[in-house]
Structure 1
């Protein structure tokens, strides 16, 4: 009997080769190609696959999403109203940002509503989890699972499916590939997704963030799960953001404060981010931003300093650096503002990262104010996109932004088409 031909597969990215290679051409990892036996096709036409019946769309029963609340308002906002039975979510974030803390609090809320929760502790010991649970006030009825072998894990869960499953973390599960590799993460995610859909178990997978700032194997995982959430640090706050959501809006944002007792919702994020805004300082202006369906009042800061170098520096933190460069070019070309010998620093105060065209006007005013050394009115809030001709353009969700500005107590709101150009706004307030 002829031996089945062998292939070599990279345990990091899944690249396949017919011969062993020292370095993977797909991901560049060294000594990562391992030999795997190639599956042989059925011989002689034995046991051919049976055709699968097709289903017409009219035969599919109509039914809405049977959502249930997480009992945490900021999380429900990001999810689009709550969890969906059988939904699989990926929660990513840097170590220590509070992923496990948040999920333990969610598990407690699920227990309080009468749902059975299983928490897979792949990284921490049960003793460590109990110590944290005592600090957070988590019920001792929470069921823990320490099994990291994928086949044994699925057998345990299928014998008694829970209502809510937390896997902390997906990188600890052991499959045929090395734990933590992209192949292992992909296989484990696919298997858990099939289980969740079959038994309608809402499942949350915790994913580690790599040194590049991405969840390990993002493209391998994200197309499988239903929603991808990221928990980030923003100054003294924690921001939960959705980058994919099949059952809700994308880009929605929830704000938490990390306390000793756990994650606490921030009811008024605008006031929290503006709490330390300096009074009467040049280069400071409030912008009305939009993240998903949430409008926020945020402070844009700018600083101009004479440069000792031939090429001046342009630094943007929390903002799209390319849009900042465009606004600086408009200031120089359309408003004749000399920036050639100045280092320009632009910052979105509070540690947030917001890539919103509606912040252009705030960036332009902040830089102009910093260069001329004159402060803007303290009760002023602005919104608007700046075009290459210096014109102001309308932005998405203008009414929601203006309502947030009024609620935050700003007396003067500047927006298009109230003002036609950036130059008109500068002439009015500076």
Structure 2
């Protein structure tokens, strides 16, 4: 547990190159970028593996400039009261563009055709004649009128769906947990599959846009493949592990699956027939890196300065308008009477509550309480100590 009362200067450490536009968010008198700090207030990270890191007692937040947090020990952070942020949607357009690019390119056998054309180097004047003779080996198919199945209608999946409709494809999607915001932005022409098997049976192309969990691991496996049309193309720009590699290798070999396009290649995939290995380029655009960096640093800045949380993977989202009053921000176990105990601790110091919000997420909860009175510096350490003594408290900050 840690609290830094009257915390005027905050230290931010970066573990990867974070776009300058993101760091500019923190370039003022209240922040110091110190990549040698052993005990920063917050860490900004992209792909650096943090699992073996020891965290200082002052660390309050980790911001991942990207969506996946597999490189961050989230459970450890939760136990210590460290908020882990990610940036969902910040790189969505970049990934969407690559999905549609490879969807079309794989249909037209573009990758194989380009690789073959390169082998003609040195043939001189014969190149044009050889091209005309050999192009018949790379005849493809158009995506117009074909059915695209989308598993997962988050920030990326919904963009792919709408743009695929504009390319005159039919779109069927499966997502039992679609958010209200996404539903409003999604075209009414997207057909909703009530069961994933319906999507498997109807799709000419399938693209996956779900996180890797125990429920989604190997979502494309032997059983799923048994429902597929012949020669279906499967695209995975979401996570390694969503497609069972042994099962997809068999399906590629026997032609049940025509192409497997993945942004997560490994040695086994590189050996597979008709597998197209993209070197993890989904979010690799200047624009996406800047968007992620800006979003990540704004989230950290907002949390450090106001306690408000948005896009955390381990804390509940919570927001309370910040009016400049003293704010008590407490991360605690989600147990009965916790809010009552916090209120009692504050009233023991003859302080009035001006506003309050309490949000829970599984076994944990987060409470912010604004104090109506003017609070002198001597009161704060005592109040902090009293709150920490409550059973189930993980961390306390007084802002």
TM-score by length of 1: 0.26
More helix by share: 2
Compare the two structures and name the one with the higher strand fraction. 1
